[in-house]
Structure 1
Amino acid sequence: MSSPAATPALPLLPVAPLDGESGYLRWKESVLLRLHTLGLAHVLSEEEEEPERPAGEKQWRAHDDALCRGHILATLSDRLLPAYAHHDTAVAVWRAVGLTYDLDMDTVVSVNKADEFRYNEGKPLLEQLALLEVLATVGNTLGCMGLYIIDEARGFPSELARKVRKHGPNLCMDEIWKIARKVVVGDKLREIDQEAKRKADDSRPLKRGRHGK
């Protein structure tokens, strides 16, 4: 049994109004954060109330549902509001918006982007690994991460590719992350060592000639 909605101890973060497909993901995550902060997120996951539930529970659940529905509708743009305001419950509004913008095309696009992904030497390794992991996860190709990394055409650092290849292409993401982090730490330690040597060389006095010139 869920507890009634709570009053947040901290101010709510603003939610940019949803006005189309391009802003859906940020809107969805922002609304979920707000609903969790308010103690209303349970409304979107609970089953429909059953007749045998106590009257008091039905009453506060209806109250939570009304609040949840209101918060969702309040974050829709003036253009979109009329299309969803006719839904009576929070779940109905949430599902209707999701059916409009939460398209299966994301999976297809992510598969293509993961297949086309190429490592950029000018950007941090771990950031690129995180991006590729997201694309592979959404595209249901997470099991191919090892193959992506050892594929020379993708250009991942040779040390990372070599170590992943040593463990096999079916290596899980946790192990891939461990290897990648060790590679980055190793690179940073080498940079620190090289910088220390450079400073040591700069601080050495120049050799003087026989007469001190």
Structure 2
Amino acid sequence: MATEAERTKIEEAVVEIIRNGDLETLSEFSIRVMLAERLNIDFSGLESKLLVRRIVESYLLSLPDETENAVEVVREQSNKAPHCISYNICELSNRRSVSVKKFRGDTLVWFSDFYEKDGNQFDGGISLTESQWSAFKQGISAIEEAILKINSQKRSIFVIHETTHVYRGKYNSSPAFTPQRIIPIPNTRLSGRNYSCWMRQISFVLNQLKIAYVLTQPCPDTTPHDEAYSEKAAQAKAAARKWVDDDYLCRLTILNSLSDHLYDQYSKRMLSSKELWEELKSSYDEDFRTKISHVSRYMQYQIVDGASILEQVQEFHEIADAIIACGMRIDENFHVGAIVSKLPPSWKECRMKLLKEDWLPLSKLMYTLRAEENSRNHHSSNESSTYSRPGNKCVSETMKRKRLCYMCGNEGHMSKNCGLRKWVESSNGRNNANVPVIDEG
């Protein structure tokens, strides 16, 4: 790395060589050769080449306009091609840069890619003619849109609100911050209870992707037109194709923002983005729900693997409570049968045993499900625990000694102190109760 004194010495020597030389035939290579002879320094390295180039360009920029328009420095190509006039535009990285060159009468936009071979540095890359550069420039917006669409199709969508205005309230002041480039952050995934928060964030995402219009606008008409309207017909077909693509992207974006069990539920159904949007609104928007929507949720609910069965059953109870709150009654046997029928395939044996029961109240069902889930969790933990080795019965015997409440299936209390028992007893005292009464055997 050259010191400040050496850099000053090199700069003075370069300026002197340019002033005393013939600018029509002078090149960077010849300048470096003269510098090496004069200063006895090796200028074959990349840093030395870049230093000489910056000094030459700085000197040319300091020349008067009339001189700069009349004189151009000829830059050397490492492959020893014929001399060409070149202007360095920007550096993309340590090895890549963009420049504009006049080569054999043609103006080229040159994307350089420096590489080393056998200790020598070569300048590779691609060049675009003026017509090719014009076509490339027109497609930049399409490239940016394609990048945005590809990134939006990932399982987890990330986006942030663009800062354009400060909260003004009663004031009409100008923005305190300049607009910033959008950078991604994780968005909220719909679980069923956070619809309002999810709806605000997914609406922002769809608006940023410029595909929210498919939720309110139908697909453009592509009915054949007369020959006089062939241009309008082509535009209509192009608009229809864009609408179909945006509708597909909008549907995927909405599905990707759902929780796992909702994704499994809705991804199997062939719904358009608008149909999916309306169904989610009717199912989870508290202000939009009706009796029919609650019943629809009750019928379509499915218990899946990968999550706690008891938590999903509790969520199913909440849907039933919403139906009861609307003034409709659900028979206990019907509700128990619905829970059994919605158990996942991995619970097939348990479901078959429950279907053979002659008497299966809700409390007994909850106790059975609790015991089955604890048994499965205990079995899976034993497989990875050192206590599951043959001969070690400490854990299993301890689990066997644990007592469960036969009313709710929970541990830590007896049935006489169970909250479910108090709820059942209070339900027995009401006439025409909407919630099925559960008596102890």
Same fold (TM over 0.5): no
TM-score (norm 1): 0.43
TM-score (norm 2): 0.21
Q: Which structure shows the bigger proportion of residues in strand conformation? A: 2
Which structure has more relative contact order (CA 8 Å, sep 6+)? It is 1
